[in-house]
Structure 1
Amino acid sequence: MKQPKLSFWQIWNLSFGFLGVQIGFALQNGNVSRILSDLGADLSSLSLFWLAAPIMGLLVQPIVGAASDRTWNKLGRRLPFMLGGAIVAAAAMVLLPNSSMVVAIIPPMLFGLLIFAIKDAAFNVTFQPFRSLVSDMVPPEQRNLGYSVQTLLINIGAVFGSILPFVLTNVVGLDNASKAGEVAPSVVWAFYIGATVLLGSVLWTVFRTKEYAPEQYYAYKGLDSEAQTLAEQVRKSRSLAEKLSDFWQTMLGMPKIMKQLALVQFFSWFALFIMWTYFPAAIAQNTWGVGVEWYNGSYIAQMGGVPAHIAAAKGAAGDWVGILYAGYSLFAVLFSLVMAKLANLFGRKLVYSFSLLAGGLGYLSFVLFTDPTMTHVNLLITQVEIPQGALGLMIPMIGVGIAWAAILAMPYAILAGALPPEKTGVYMGIFNFTIAAPQIISGLIAGWILGSVFDNQAVYIVMLAGGAMVLGALSVWLVKEQEVTATE
């Protein structure tokens, strides 16, 4: 039985919840390193803090993927996990900016492990099933469109989340300065708004999407409904040890293309982790001229605190990080509008490789933008005075945005056709290892490299990320695309 095509708005509704999830991620990505640095964390410790996110993804996503493969109830197959995760994630976002008393008595690293890990786990429970939902509901001939729409929504959310604190300060007028032991009002309200949009957008997907019934799904995927039902009964009767053994065998039997894409993913996500961790410091040092000593907790304590002009420069650089993140997300949105057509015309691999190369060149050019000349910039929503070099950094963001759009869509578009339909969820979860593992490795060694090799000059760790992204572009050509319908 041929799976029916979906209208554009049906595909849109499938992924609409990603809008809110990405707002949450953008708020975290743009503010966490800056907050921890202000709390006294050294640059070398920041990458260790960020380990909480990939570790939670590594633990949560395969479990959720496997569970959603075997869930069939009135709400659906993937939708129950999206809804439950969104409720917890929204609650965590509301509580997080009100946790300042916890920060006052617990070291930043422990604070991150206890608080952010919970939020990241909830985010992972929410967004992992979205990937599988598109694979379930969208027929093969619309797969490029399906993942491109998902990428579009992700980046709209990233733009909104990235600029939200900046807008609340410079347009609405909320204070962006934090008092001792408290979070700035602009950040607090940004997280409130983000939590509201996250929950609302996921609810939209849940109530506007109707998943296929088991018999209908199996028919569309060319599977024997009775055989699948029997196999599920056998799985439920197995012991925990047998289930773990089955999961291990599933991993060993993963399609070869997953292993080939894993190399590309390693270089891509190794670079992205460095960006999210060290962009604020790199921009403050390289463009605003803040000395590396002002990121050393011992030196700051010795000097009796951070001088007002240094604090102002670090704050301005931190604000501009949000604008740059919004910039690369916006460029990703624009590229995602044409990415599916380009992939259909030139092939997924060429588009994927070109995109990663553009991102790598963007990172490598980061060191060039050092001009301290102050310039007046009209952002339409407000006007600011920033160094000329900071404005120039928007050029590398074009390449980073192109790479980001491809990273979010191309691996899944290539992979989806090679996965057995009855194990799509678990394999999508296992594929998340290729996202989490390189970030964990980056987190473990990036701080050491920055301190021991680059003497805490953060711009050079960003250039290292550029080299990794270029290697990712070359690795794409090792991938051999394939299509399957079902396992034997």
Structure 2
Amino acid sequence: MQKRTLSFWEIWNMSFGFLGIQFGFALQNANTSRIFETLGADVDQIPILWIAAPVTGLVVQPIIGYFSDRTWTRLGRRRPYFLAGAILSSIALYIMPNSPTLWIAAGTLWLMDASINISMEPFRAFVGDNLPEKQRTLGFSMQSFFIGTGAVVGSLLPYVFSNWMGISNTAPEGVIPDSVKWSFYVGGIVFLLTVLWTVFKSKEYTPEELAEFERRDKLAAQPEKEKPEDRTKNIKKQLYSGIGMMTVGALVTWYIFDHQLTKELYILFVGLVVVGVLFIMAANLRKKNVKNAFTTIVTDMLNMPDTMKKLAWVQFFSWFALFSMWIYTTAAVTGHVFGTSDTTSELYNDAADWVPVMFTVYNGVAAAVAFLLPVIAQKTSNRVTHLLALCFGGVGLISIYFITTKMGLLLSMVGVGIAWASILSLPYAMLSGSLPSAKMGYYMGVFNFFIVIPQIVAATILGFLVKEFLWNDPVYALIVGGFSMILSGVLTLRVKSTKRVTIDE
């Protein structure tokens, strides 16, 4: 029994919901800093306000992945999560631009990011569930295409509304302009409708069929019975890892307190203490032969496949770079390139409107090259292709420091777009073959840790670095991000893979 080869339009339908998901992310990424600044946030406060998004993802993603692996309803295995997340996301997209205060906006970002993650996380596993191995690269490329397309339209909306439809682009102090509000309203509708399309136009295999596929999949076959000494060794490793994380986190937290360093650093190192405690708790429960969702989630995190561990570093530095861009592009463009910080001025708002246009360009480039990267990878390798793409992205971010024109800013985004297309597809193509199909949802959720953790790091240290060491000029955060992206490309060479990308007609 084999999974059948799906047609182009069947893969289109199962990926179509990503159009709406990325529509929501594009509005969030391009406009949240603007909303925060409009509601009174200082430049060095913006990263900590963004912390809601990655912290939420860190908690939500593995839990949703774990339970979606074990779910079956009349709607299927993954589709109930698509639908629930879409409904909640649409509500949050309506609330966000109507936030009356800064802290309500920050809380809404928390709700919005959690909701988007509920929809998004199972989509990666959806490819693994429904497509045979030879079509998975095509499936991830299709998702990349919709991500790029959705982000293009979503990022461009405020500019379209203000420049083409005459909707006001300015507002009194502390009020979000109507062009931004209407963009979020449209985004909520698109999000819900596209996910509904995937929910009702796609099918999932029955539990019996999935069980048969898993039985035949050597990665998901019943493992050899674990030897007592191996289990004891693994529990000790988990325990000592937890003690190490807790100790390091506690010592650094004390150092931050003793030297009165920026309070945002507490989030990172108190978080490390919490993870260490969770590892210790799981190890002690395993000693007592307790097996439940908690011990499984924490233990499988420890026992990641080797390919996944190496890709984790690649993801860390590439997403650190992306998060620095999302946080600081608005402030860098308005301040460094256009020379204004007055959020009520026409110059500031025109410059801020150009940021979504820039993001439109990089997402448009990503959509355009989504199906080109697998062709290049077939002639070279996934690793080399990803290295080249990330180097283009890094140079694009660094170049913003030297640019003084609007058109020059768009050119810098071409390199970022090439990197973005690769980040959305090639790491998953390299990873998917190493994952047990029975835990596809869970491990895809854990893999997103290495998207979330660098965001937490960026949100906790970038504000501190910009304020204390980078002359309070946000453009230097983009330079740091550029070098981080190049480093992630170099680290890709550590990932050993003999497989080449398969191109399906």
Q: With structure 1 as the length reference, what TM-score do the two structures score?
A: 0.85
Tell me what 1:57 maps to.
Answer: 57
Distance, in Å, in 1 between the alignment partners of 2:175 and 2:477 is 31
Deviation at 1:266, TM superposition (A): 0.9
The answer to whether the Cα contact below 8 Å between 2:44 and 2:464 also exists between their aligned partners in 1 is yes
Matched, 1:338 2:372: yes
1:321-332 mapped onto 2 (5 Å cutoff): 321-332=355-366
SS at 1:478's partner residue? coil
Tell me what 1:357 maps to.
Answer: 391
SS at 1:337's partner residue? coil
Deviation at 1:221, TM superposition (A): 3.8
The answer to whether the Cα contact below 8 Å between 1:144 and 1:413 also exists between their aligned partners in 2 is yes
Distance, in Å, in 2 between the alignment partners of 1:158 and 1:439 is 19
Distance, in Å, in 1 between the alignment partners of 2:96 and 2:290 is 35
Distance, in Å, in 2 between the alignment partners of 1:360 and 1:346 is 21
Deviation at 1:2, TM superposition (A): 2.4
The answer to whether the Cα contact below 8 Å between 1:52 and 1:112 also exists between their aligned partners in 2 is no
Matched, 1:22 2:22: yes
Question: Alignment identity in percent?
Answer: 43
The answer to whether the Cα contact below 8 Å between 1:57 and 1:121 also exists between their aligned partners in 2 is yes
Matched, 1:285 2:335: yes
Counterpart of 1:469 (choices 452, 472, 485) is 485
Tell me what 1:486 maps to.
Answer: none
Write the deviation string for residues 409-467 of structure 1: whole angstroms up to 9, x where unpaired. 11111111100010001111111111100110111100011111111111111111111
Counterpart of 2:176 (choices 161, 183, 208) is 183
SS at 2:425's partner residue? helix
SS at 1:136's partner residue? helix
Matched, 1:395 2:388: no
SS at 2:370's partner residue? helix
Tell me what 2:465 maps to.
Answer: 449
Sort the Cα spacing of 1:240 and 1:13 in 2 relative to 1 into closer, same or farther, 3 A. Answer: farther
The answer to whether the Cα contact below 8 Å between 2:38 and 2:343 also exists between their aligned partners in 1 is no
Counterpart of 1:256 (choices 306, 321, 324) is 306
**Structure 1: which 5+ runs fail to align?**
229-237, 295-305, 371-388, 484-488
Matched, 1:436 2:452: yes
Distance, in Å, in 1 between the alignment partners of 2:199 and 2:451 is 26
Of 129-138 and 361-370, the range deviating more from structure 2: 361-370
Sort the Cα spacing of 1:59 and 1:482 in 2 relative to 1 into closer, same or farther, 3 A. Answer: farther
Deviation at 1:189, TM superposition (A): 1.2
Distance, in Å, in 1 between the alignment partners of 2:411 and 2:343 is 31
Write the deviation string for residues 249-300 of structure 1: whole angstroms up to 9, x where unpaired. 211211011110011011101111100000011111222123xxx4xxxxxx
Distance, in Å, in 2 between the alignment partners of 1:318 and 1:163 is 12
Write the deviation string for residues 299-330 of structure 1: whole angstroms up to 9, x where unpaired. xxxxxxx497xx22211110000100000001
Distance, in Å, in 1 between the alignment partners of 2:41 and 2:90 is 27
Tell me what 2:347 maps to.
Answer: 313
Distance, in Å, in 2 between the alignment partners of 1:190 and 1:34 is 14
Tell me what 1:415 maps to.
Answer: 431
Letter of the structure 2 residue corresponding to residue 249 of structure 1? T
SS at 1:22's partner residue? helix
Distance, in Å, in 1 between the alignment partners of 2:335 and 2:92 is 32
Matched, 1:209 2:243: no
Deviation at 1:223, TM superposition (A): 4.3
Counterpart of 1:142 (choices 125, 130, 135) is 135
Aligned residues: 432
Counterpart of 1:117 (choices 105, 110, 118) is 110
SS at 2:371's partner residue? helix
The answer to whether the Cα contact below 8 Å between 1:283 and 1:390 also exists between their aligned partners in 2 is no
Tell me what 2:94 maps to.
Answer: 94
Tell me what 1:375 maps to.
Answer: none
Write the deviation string for residues 342-390 of structure 1: whole angstroms up to 9, x where unpaired. 22222211111111111011111111112xxxxxxxxxxxxxxxxxx12
Distance, in Å, in 2 between the alignment partners of 1:429 and 1:444 is 22
Tell me what 1:270 maps to.
Answer: 320
Write the deviation string for residues 72-124 of structure 1: whole angstroms up to 9, x where unpaired. 12111000000011011111112222332xx1xxxx2x324421101110000
**Structure 2: which 5+ runs fail to align?**
223-287, 500-505
The answer to whether the Cα contact below 8 Å between 2:36 and 2:105 also exists between their aligned partners in 1 is no
Distance, in Å, in 2 between the alignment partners of 1:312 and 1:322 is 16
Distance, in Å, in 2 between the alignment partners of 1:415 and 1:360 is 23
